Amino acid sequence: MPQTQQNAPRVRTRFPPSPTGALHLGGARTALFNWLFARHHGGDFIFRLEDTDRERSKDEHVDSIIQAMEWLGLDWDEGPHYQSRRFDRYRQAIDQMVARGRAYWCHCPPERLQGVREKALAQGGKPMYDGCCRDLGPGPAPGAVVRFRGPREGHTGWKDLVKGPISFDNAELDDLVILRSDGSPTYHLAVVVDDVDMAITHVIRGDDHVSNTPRQILLYQALDSPIPQFGHVPMILGGDKTKLSKRHGATAVIAYKDMGYLPEAMLNALARLGWSHGDQEVFSRQELIDHFGLEAVGKGAAVFDPDKLLHLNAHWIQHSPPQRLAAALPPFLAARGVERFDEATLLAAIPHLVPRTKTLLELAEWAEPYLVDEVVMEPQAAAKFLTAAQAPVLERVAAMVERLGVAESAALEAGFKDLAGDLGIKLGGVAQPVRVALTGRTASPGIFEVMVILGQARTLARLGRALKMATSAG
């Protein structure tokens, strides 16, 4: 694994979601890129929660985010850190900046600020603070805020690790509030102090944060602290090239687990949202770590394709050990009312079922007939294939199974063909009634594979039950 260069600071990235909702695809992609960058360089991945929004931050959102991170396997080296527990540290930094003349108290009432904004807009300018209190030197007071004293000349820029050189005119950046009137720090101040204290070397985030970066660079400078390197990754769009939303299939990441997706598939799909490595589409976790780099992240927006995610999920299901799939299936089987079953039967069935499935939900549906004591017949299948006309077929197949067992597939296949010839029907005329008898459905793996999975005793029991249904239907 590549390591950090000699004498260079140890790579330290962070993922700082706000627990005001569940973790969605965009946030998960950001977490993954930070995690991969840290792991690729042998560095540290820091997890913290920006929970200073007291009204919207909820414990259930914290739990949901942590659950999603754990499901994806994005393990963190430090944290989770909580901003809500660091208010004293933020106030210390603010007081330091005020003492050094790099921030100041502002007593402007809300109505004055609104008037300043409206006047600027009327004159075709930006609704910026006019610096009224900048040089007056007022101290703390009820309702007052603290503002950062930003430079009014020059430019603030950086070499973005994804987008290249970016620069902002300082005259376009007003003196932002860093301490609210209720005593709470603002986002910009808290995130910079966190990054300083946690020695973050690389900030990898969505390009919707580009406009925040010059303000934060100025705050690093005001705190006499090293400035991390920034990389802003492209936003994620839906198939119609509009902002990703629920109508595009986007939902909380953890919901994909409940829909039967494997974390390998989700990681694979997230990594390919804006990043590439040649023409390769399928990556193991280790391959992602080995190959990941920001130089391969595109500048244009990435498009989320639910069909591609489904295709990747089918691939990873088909390439997962049966034991791993069997361990993941119980919740999906329980949702279908199958809570107690023979694990050996499930393990025997899985290799025959995975070619037909794209999700664990589908796999549980296909596996159900092999795990229940009495199979549920699909009404249309029973009405078509379990009639008096098929009773002789079921009766003779049962006798054949009793005589040959279920392990002799070649002998059974020959017997099926002979039976079809004797009755003057096609081979499907034998196989389909038997398939419905054994699985309750008209589709299944090969009929002889089904018999092997069920075993002779259960195969005969189901044929006997179906024969009774067919006879009574006459």
Q: Which positions are catalytic? A: 246
Residue 216 identity: Q
Contact 237, 301 (CB under 8 A): yes
75, burial (CB in 10 Å: exposed 0-12, middle 13-18, buried 19+): exposed
Q: Note the residue count of the chain.
A: 474
The dihedral built from the CA positions of residue 356, 302, 1 and 196, taken in this order, carries a sign that is: negative
Q: How many CB atoms lie within 10 A of CB 94?
A: 20
Alpha-carbon distance of 67 to 226, in angstroms, equals 33
Q: Provide the 3-class DSSP secondary structure of residue 122.
A: helix
- 15 phi/psi in degrees, rounded to 5: -125, 115
Do the bridges between strand 236-237 and strand 302-303 make them parallel or antiparallel, or are there none, so unpaired? Answer: parallel
Strands (DSSP E) contained in 33-190 are: 44-49, 78-82, 103-106, 145-148, 155-160, 164-169, 177-179
Q: What is the DSSP string of 77-98?
A: SEEEEEGGG-HHHHHHHHHHHH
Please choose, from the candidates 86, 65, 84, the residue with its C-alpha nearest in 3D space to the C-alpha of residue 76: 65
DSSP letter for 11, please.
Answer: P
Q: What is the DSSP string of 221-274?
A: HHTT-PPPEEEEEPPEE-TTSSB--GGGT---HHHHHHTT--HHHHHHHHHTTT
How far is C-alpha 51 from the geometric centre of its chain's CA atoms? 21
Both tokens assigned to 272: 């390919």
403, burial (CB in 10 Å: exposed 0-12, middle 13-18, buried 19+): exposed
Q: Looking up tokens 């995975």, which residue turns up?
A: 354
How far is C-alpha 387 from the geometric centre of its chain's CA atoms? 48
